[in-house]
Structure 1
Amino acid sequence: MLFGTSGIRGLYGKEVTAKLAAKVGNAMGGAGRKVILCSDTRQTSPILAGALAAGAMQSGAEVIDLGVGPTPLLAYATFVEKCDGAMITASHNPPEYNGIKLFSKGGEYSKAQEKKVEEAVSSDLKKAPWDKAGQKGRKDFSEDYIKFLIARVDSQAIGKRKIRVLIDAGNAAAYSIAPRLFEAAGCSVVRVNCDKPGQFTRNLEPKPSTLSESAALVVKEKCDFGIAFDGDGDRAIAIDEKGVVLPLDTQLAVFCSHMLSRDHNKKFVTTVEASLSVRETVERHGGRLFITPVGSLHVADEVKRQSAAFGGEPCGEYVFPFATPCAEGLLSAIMVAEIFAQRGPLSGASRGIKAHHMARTKYKCRADMKGEIMRKISEKPQLEGRLSTVDGLRYDFEDGWLLIRPSGTEPAIRLTAEAKSEKKLSEIVQRAGNLIMKEIESAH
């Protein structure tokens, strides 16, 4: 399978090559079509971007190259231009990885669209005559995009508070536009990892263990809060004024609570990975939660289907119905400023969120064995609870739950578990972890 839960992704030169990028570009293109291209700051991104553009132009398509920018900027440009686009990125994966994520009119490609690309990639290339070959140009959407985002938050309240914010872009895709967004909103910005694009001085997965330096700087620089981005800028993680990186489930619950106060609409969307704290927050405010498989595409589709007020994944990907229908890391970031402006320090906003004991881990395995490993685990009677197969294997029991699913972005099996006691959590993780490792060893 070419596409995972977040586009095409793999090791550069092995699973993701210039030849593949050219074929994908050719599949997206065609006479009279327009393809917008954007890239993250990885060393191999210009190679893949150039190849994809060449393939699209060979088909007769016009190519607009945005250069380096975050995924939500690419989505916005395809929304404005009413066309398709490709983001060259491997998000939070290590620098030796890269990938291609496809968009159409603001949203991610549907599974049906991805299937058509897969079929085209294995077929003959579309070749326009020499005088019908496509051309490539550049266009800057960033200023319009910044205005678009600021118009979707309480910019007046944000401006009045004279917010001081630390931005850690990881020297990745959001390194330039994120600070500009906050400055345009009237904030004072402390830049961290925003000056050496492509030099990844921290892990691109923003979490407490990778953000310790930025968290300490939030306190040292007397910032009201900090924001850290992942590799392609579709996720934004908040750090409160005390230097505490908000746990992802707590941050999602804070957003749900804020969106409930912002809108009379009480429908919310999340995935099978969401914690009890998210469900409890929504239900405490009289809201209703809709559950989808993991992936922002599924969340965005369900937000539209239910006319929901908000959709979010525990990994930090949030979908807003009043913006482009995709994971919007830049809007999430400036929405944190609105939360601060309207509700005060983030430490206070998160204080009412009840956190339970939670564990998230992954077990590496061969990518081509994930399906077989999951099949064997499903046949084992060692795991108890009410089973749901919406995405992977989720077991719900009285005082917690367990989810085992194949990663859609890495060669791994993921385990997520939550329980109301640390003892129960330890028992769940040990039993399930042993089972997963046993089946991985058996498969190899």
Structure 2
Amino acid sequence: MPSLFGSSGVRGVYGRDITPSLIIKLGYAISAFIGRRKTISIGMDTRASSPLIKGLLASSFMSSGHDVVDYGVLPTPALSFLTGKHTDFGAMITASHNPPEYNGVKVFDHEGKALGPCESANIEKLFDKAPKMVSWNEVGSLHDDRERLEEYLEYVISLASPKLDKLKIVFECFNATACMVVPHLRTSTFKKSILLNSSPSPIFSVDRPEPSPETTELLQKVVKAEKAFAGIAYDGDCDRFSLVDEKGRFIELDKLLAFYARHLVENHDVKVIVTNISASMVIDELVESAGGKVVRVPVGDVYVADEMKKQGTTFGGEPCGAWIHFEHNKSPDGIISSILMLNILSEEGKPSKLFDEIPSYHIIRYNLECPPKLKVKVVENFKENIERILGEPIELLEVDGVFAKYNDYWCLVRSSGTEDVVRVTVEARERAMGENVAKKIVSHLRGIIR
């Protein structure tokens, strides 16, 4: 059987990869991994298939003797936050930033931290084992606790600076789980805010509810037209966020992370910042200039969280807008990240001036569709032919895919853990050079995929 878990749990297209029978077996495998009777929190995003998957998963848990607490529709970080406070494990039904036909399951431990590769592998080993169902008088209970989301909301609000009340912020919710949180923030904190696509729906306002320059075009226009201080966009399950400055410009996510990381090193005595192998070199430059250190790991928030724990640090983030603040939540939290970022901006001035001072390097990214069985082969082929394609690198790493560093650029070719694509990333000091390198790599890879 192909690997069930990717870098963000189990995920795929409903009806093709994610089927009722798979969810039932997954529920029994998770139950067996957990062991004797525990309490499992469960939540879901707004996708059409989420209620069905939630019901099947809860049934598997309960028939295995576990008690289930249903938190209803809520952001993934809210589920991880509440799991860390109240239950032994958590299961979130979501496909995050993927299109609406996708769905999946992400599992959290008692701290609210997503299960790592070793734990996920142990669950996979139990996937085809016969389920251990309990007798009628040992079936687990089901408790509806949807009002518990208020606890998360109160905590988020407590982090907001009083100055935020005076700022006009535009929020893009994409008709996804942000709709369960942002309207409450408007009432309590952002009283001058403007909300876009703020009614939950199984059909998002964009095909991919991902905070990118393309999906936030409406947000950029509204921020500029309304003369707002800034704009914030969240992805489908709110574990990511992005920022638009007062001029209506999308701030590069690497630059956003570099700015925040430097602030922590300079003002909060954070010595180590954890990020992934695909992050921009501007992060290293800003963090090191402030006296900090950057540690890189494979792509995926579970790797970031594991390394944060190992390094004894409190912050780590990926250049997709997924940031982890251990003192607040053990998993990526776009809602809390956006509040903390806006707190800083409210003290330091207009976003455009602050981010224009940070150097921009040129990052070119390609996602090449690739059959699951070919993904590993394609990456291996690139490694074998890299010198013929690009010349001999200064440094070659296999932390996550193939990372090669040259004098004026670096490149990374890796297999996605969440989609049937091979990802190509190139960063260069000059755009023309980066585009040329990316084209050489993509041309070679497409020849293999075909």
| Counterpart in the other structure of 1:171 | 175
Tell me the secondary structure at the aligned position of residue 64 of structure 1. strand
The code of the aligned residue for 1:3 comes to F
The code of the aligned residue for 1:417 comes to V
| Counterpart in the other structure of 1:8 | 10
Taking the aligned partners of 1:376 and 1:179, their CA distance within structure 2 comes to: 49
Taking the aligned partners of 2:192 and 2:130, their CA distance within structure 1 comes to: 53
The code of the aligned residue for 1:325 comes to K
Alpha-carbon distance, 1:304 to partner: 1.6
C-alpha RMSD over aligned residues? 1.5
Match of 2:426 among 417, 422, 427: 417
Alpha-carbon distance, 1:188 to partner: 2.6
Taking the aligned partners of 2:184 and 2:236, their CA distance within structure 1 comes to: 18
Taking the aligned partners of 1:285 and 1:227, their CA distance within structure 2 comes to: 27
Taking the aligned partners of 1:304 and 1:344, their CA distance within structure 2 comes to: 33
| Counterpart in the other structure of 2:116 | 110
The code of the aligned residue for 2:230 comes to F
1:175-205 Cα deviation digits (max 9, x unpaired): 1212323543354321111124223121312
Percentage of identical aligned residues: 34
Residues 179, 262 of structure 1: alpha-carbon distance in 2 compared, 3 angstrom cutoff:
farther
The code of the aligned residue for 1:229 comes to Y
| Counterpart in the other structure of 2:237 | 232
Using the size of structure 1 for normalisation, the TM-score is 0.95
**Partners of 1:309 and 1:320 within 8 A in 2:** yes
Taking the aligned partners of 2:153 and 2:316, their CA distance within structure 1 comes to: 22
Alpha-carbon distance, 1:309 to partner: 4.1
1:21-100 superposed matches below 5 A: 21-29=23-31, 31-100=36-105
Taking the aligned partners of 1:199 and 1:364, their CA distance within structure 2 comes to: 23
Tell me the secondary structure at the aligned position of residue 126 of structure 2. helix
The code of the aligned residue for 1:33 comes to K
Match of 2:188 among 184, 188, 194: 184
Match of 2:215 among 188, 210, 217: 210
| Counterpart in the other structure of 1:370 | 375
**Partners of 1:179 and 1:189 within 8 A in 2:** no
Alpha-carbon distance, 1:121 to partner: 1.7
Alpha-carbon distance, 1:96 to partner: 1.1
Alpha-carbon distance, 1:14 to partner: 1.5
1:16-36 Cα deviation digits (max 9, x unpaired): 112222222223335521111
| Counterpart in the other structure of 1:141 | 148
Residues 244, 184 of structure 1: alpha-carbon distance in 2 compared, 3 angstrom cutoff:
same
The code of the aligned residue for 2:168 comes to R
Taking the aligned partners of 1:257 and 1:49, their CA distance within structure 2 comes to: 40
Query: In the alignment, is residue 19 of structure 1 matched against residue 21 of structure 2?
Result: yes
**Partners of 1:252 and 1:314 within 8 A in 2:** yes
Tell me the secondary structure at the aligned position of residue 13 of structure 1. coil
**Partners of 1:238 and 1:336 within 8 A in 2:** no
Taking the aligned partners of 2:87 and 2:180, their CA distance within structure 1 comes to: 25
Tell me the secondary structure at the aligned position of residue 208 of structure 1. coil
Tell me the secondary structure at the aligned position of residue 423 of structure 2. strand
Query: In the alignment, is residue 306 of structure 1 matched against residue 308 of structure 2?
Result: no
Q: 311-320 vs 177-186, which deviates more?
A: 177-186
Tell me the secondary structure at the aligned position of residue 36 of structure 1. strand
**Partners of 1:228 and 1:238 within 8 A in 2:** yes
Taking the aligned partners of 1:150 and 1:113, their CA distance within structure 2 comes to: 33
Alpha-carbon distance, 1:438 to partner: 1.5
The code of the aligned residue for 1:430 comes to K
**Partners of 1:62 and 1:136 within 8 A in 2:** yes
Q: 174-183 vs 91-100, which deviates more?
A: 174-183
| Counterpart in the other structure of 1:158 | 164
Q: 26-35 vs 87-96, which deviates more?
A: 26-35
Structure 1 residues without counterparts, runs of 5 or longer: none
The code of the aligned residue for 1:2 comes to L
Taking the aligned partners of 1:322 and 1:182, their CA distance within structure 2 comes to: 24
**Partners of 1:73 and 1:142 within 8 A in 2:** yes
Taking the aligned partners of 1:79 and 1:196, their CA distance within structure 2 comes to: 26
**Partners of 2:369 and 2:422 within 8 A in 1:** yes
User: Number of aligned pairs?
Assistant: 438
The code of the aligned residue for 2:203 comes to Q
Alpha-carbon distance, 1:73 to partner: 0.6
Taking the aligned partners of 1:237 and 1:426, their CA distance within structure 2 comes to: 24
Query: In the alignment, is residue 294 of structure 1 matched against residue 282 of structure 2?
Result: no
Alpha-carbon distance, 1:82 to partner: 4.0
**Partners of 2:38 and 2:66 within 8 A in 1:** yes
Tell me the secondary structure at the aligned position of residue 175 of structure 2. coil
Alpha-carbon distance, 1:109 to partner: 0.7
Taking the aligned partners of 1:387 and 1:25, their CA distance within structure 2 comes to: 40
**Partners of 1:182 and 1:334 within 8 A in 2:** no
**Partners of 1:16 and 1:99 within 8 A in 2:** yes
Runs of 4+ in 1 over 4 A off after TM superposition: none
**Partners of 1:38 and 1:66 within 8 A in 2:** yes
Tell me the secondary structure at the aligned position of residue 65 of structure 1. strand
**Partners of 1:182 and 1:189 within 8 A in 2:** yes
Taking the aligned partners of 2:285 and 2:176, their CA distance within structure 1 comes to: 35
**Partners of 1:266 and 1:309 within 8 A in 2:** no
Match of 1:391 among 385, 400, 404: 400
Residues 186, 209 of structure 1: alpha-carbon distance in 2 compared, 3 angstrom cutoff:
closer
| Counterpart in the other structure of 1:195 | 199
**Partners of 2:27 and 2:58 within 8 A in 1:** yes
Tell me the secondary structure at the aligned position of residue 54 of structure 2. helix
| Counterpart in the other structure of 1:426 | 435
**Partners of 2:323 and 2:337 within 8 A in 1:** yes
Alpha-carbon distance, 1:371 to partner: 1.1
The code of the aligned residue for 1:190 comes to I
Taking the aligned partners of 2:315 and 2:350, their CA distance within structure 1 comes to: 22
Alpha-carbon distance, 1:261 to partner: 3.5
Taking the aligned partners of 1:422 and 1:72, their CA distance within structure 2 comes to: 36
Match of 1:131 among 125, 137, 152: 137
Alpha-carbon distance, 1:418 to partner: 0.7
**Partners of 2:370 and 2:449 within 8 A in 1:** yes
Taking the aligned partners of 2:36 and 2:203, their CA distance within structure 1 comes to: 38
Alpha-carbon distance, 1:172 to partner: 0.8
Alpha-carbon distance, 1:5 to partner: 0.6
Structure 2 residues without counterparts, runs of 5 or longer: none
